[in-house]
Amino acid sequence: MKVLVTGGAGYIGSIVTEHLLNNGYDVTVFDNLERGHREALDPRATFIEGDLRHANVVHEAMARVKPDAVMHFAAYALVGESMQHPERYFENNLGGGMNLAAAMIRVGVPKLVFSSTCATYGTPSRVPIDEDMPQKPDNAYGESKLCFEKVMTWYAQRYGIRNVFLRYFNAAGATDRLGEDHEPETHLIPNVLRAALGRNPAVRIFGTDYPTPDGTCIRDYVHIEDLAAAHLLALHENIDGPYNLGYGTGASVRQVIESARRITGSEIPCEDAPRREGDPPALVAAGEKALKVLGWKPQFTELDAIIESAWRWIRQYPEGYRTSV
């Protein structure tokens, strides 16, 4: 089976690519390397360097590969940036996505697995969040992902594309070779581990007055290997629709820091900071649908296991992919 992976040089896309290749799929990666890393490309995959915002380039790639399915990861994914520059998010995540969809229709690709997000729910009326709850994003990032889900739902009706929308909660952790490396880094776990390494002076805790037990935000951190496994299940021809990918357990910012202190043995200095714009207080998945319908069997549901894998990776690559090993 041939799979075209957009964003296969990025954090989640590279790790799913590795899983696909380990399981015998024929993979072509399409990536502009703007935020991804050449070092994260798997040498077993064919690589096409291109940008989704260029419709003709996307169409040429699609026509050349004629994949059985597209997995679409390429996107901007920073909540804060999306509030400062919403146009970037709509141009790339929605506009680029629509070019991809148009190419799929022209070439007749029957299946899409889309990297969506719990940010499409906004601040939920209750947690855990199930797939039928209203989608009202709090930030432009979530809105851009939701818009693309909606476009693809209409295209599915007209053109018969089978869409799987994988709404990730907080992807975290690493494999032996691949991990999280953004510059600037905005995500909690890599920032906590950079502080443990002494690369950052202190962790800034964004908001300590949320309506949660310790006042800091709660997220459902999911190991990247479990996320990758869900993508392979999503390729099954009978699977479509939205799936929340989370464990149904939340950890607060302070709990993440405590876990990292245990694992790294480092003090990890912290300082309280104001809330970050667009952050809902708690996002935790009701993950039953993924377990029952997708047949997902998560393996790394302990926060310590996630942080341990991220810690192993960052010690091996203290400067990210620029580190020569």
Question: Under rule CB under 6 A, which residues in 199-218 are in contact with ligand UDP?
Answer: 203-206, 217
Is the CB of 4 or the CB of 203 nearer to ligand UDP? 203
Is the CB of 225 or the CB of 279 nearer to ligand UDP? 279
Q: Which two tokens stand for residue 252?
A: 């607060």
- The catalytic residue among 25, 141, 155, 247 is 141
- 182 binds ligand UDP, rule: CB under 6 A: no
Task: Number of residues interacting with ligand UDP: please give it, by CB under 6 A.
Answer: 15
243 is an active site residue = no
Nearest approach, Cβ of 198 to ligand UDP (angstroms)?
A: 16
Nearest approach, Cβ of 251 to ligand UDP (angstroms)?
A: 10
- 149 binds ligand UDP, rule: CB under 6 A: no
Cβ atoms within 10 Å, residue 79: 21
Is the CB of 110 or the CB of 215 nearer to ligand UDP? 215
The contact mask relative to ligand UDP for 80-109 (x = CB under 6 A, - = no) is: ------------------------------
SS3 string of the chain?
A: CEEEEECCCCHHHHHHHHHHHHCCCEEEEEECCCCCCHHHCCCCCEEEECCCCCHHHHHHHHHHHCCCEEEECCCCCCHHHHHHCHHHHHHHHHHHHHHHHHHHHHHCCCEEEEEEEHHHHCCCCCCCECCCCCCCCCCHHHHHHHHHHHHHHHHHHHHCCEEEEEEECEEECCCCCCCCCCCCCCCHHHHHHHHHHCCCCCEEEECCCCCCCCCCCEECEEEHHHHHHHHHHHCCCCCCEEEEECCCCCEEHHHHHHHHHHHHCCCCCEEEECCCCCCCCEECECCHHHHHHHCCCCCCCCHHHHHHHHHHHHHHCCCHHHCCC
Question: Under rule CB under 6 A, which residues in 237-256 are in contact with ligand UDP?
Answer: 253
Bond preceding residue 86 cis, omega within 30 of 0: no
Nearest approach, Cβ of 284 to ligand UDP (angstroms)?
A: 11
- 191 binds ligand UDP, rule: CB under 6 A: yes
Output phi, psi for 142, to 5 deg. -60, -40
Is the CB of 232 or the CB of 270 nearer to ligand UDP? 270
Is the CB of 161 or the CB of 283 nearer to ligand UDP? 283
- 181 binds ligand UDP, rule: CB under 6 A: no
Q: Give the residue, chosen from 186, 208, 266, 301, that forms a contact with ligand UDP under the rule CB under 6 A.
A: 186
- 187 binds ligand UDP, rule: CB under 6 A: yes
- 219 binds ligand UDP, rule: CB under 6 A: yes
**Could you tell me which stretch among 16-24, 180-188, 296-304, 310-318 binds ligand UDP (CB under 6 A)?**
180-188
- When CB distances to ligand UDP are compared, the closest residue is 217
The site for ligand UDP (CB under 6 A) is made up of: 79, 170, 186-188, 191, 203-206, 217, 219, 253, 276, 279
Which residues are catalytic, by number?
141
